[in-house]
């Protein structure tokens, strides 16, 4: 199971394996308070894509297409998430927009891959 959660919310027992999926470290959060297992900054959108999107909801569809293409080219980066899927994974993000952010898109990407039984390389 994959959940998403804003990193500014308190960790909980239900979070499972906590994965920060932002390229930049969240402001005002220290590493102890974050209680993350892994920071997958390379799974975040590229700086160019992140800046282009600029959290503009009207770009959401195009953002996801571009982001998914980036993820398809990053073989192995999502291995740690897939290995912990059965235990439960929480993708952590810092964006204020809870509907249009890379964690939401990444969750959709992973669920589509699993639904289609597409192989996600863990190497």
Per-residue pLDDT averaged across 36-56, rounded?
95
Hey, where are the domains in the chain? 2-115
Confidence (pTM): 0.90
Per-residue pLDDT averaged across 100-115, rounded?
92
Per-residue pLDDT averaged across 81-85, rounded?
86
Cα–Cα distance for residue pair 114/117, rounded to 1 Å: 5
Burial of 54 from C-beta contacts in 10 A (0-12 / 13-18 / 19+): exposed
Does the CA dihedral 70-23-96-111 come out positive or negative? positive
Cα–Cα distance for residue pair 12/3, rounded to 1 Å: 12
């Amino acid at each position: 199971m994959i959940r998403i959660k804003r990193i500014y919310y308190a960790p909980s027992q239900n979070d499972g394996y906590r994965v920060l999926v932002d390229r930049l470290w969240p402001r005002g959060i220290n590493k102890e308070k974050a209680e993350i297992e892994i920071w997958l900054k390379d799974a975040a959108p590229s700086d160019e894509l992140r800046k282009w999107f600029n959290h503009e909801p009207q770009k959401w569809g195009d953002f996801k297409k571009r982001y998914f293409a980036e993820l398809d080219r990053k073989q192995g980066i999502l291995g740690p998430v897939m290995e912990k899927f059965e235990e439960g994974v929480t993708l952590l993000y810092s964006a204020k927009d809870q509907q249009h952010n890379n964690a939401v898109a990444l969750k959709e990407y992973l669920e589509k891959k699993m639904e289609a039984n597409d192989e996600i390389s863990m190497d």
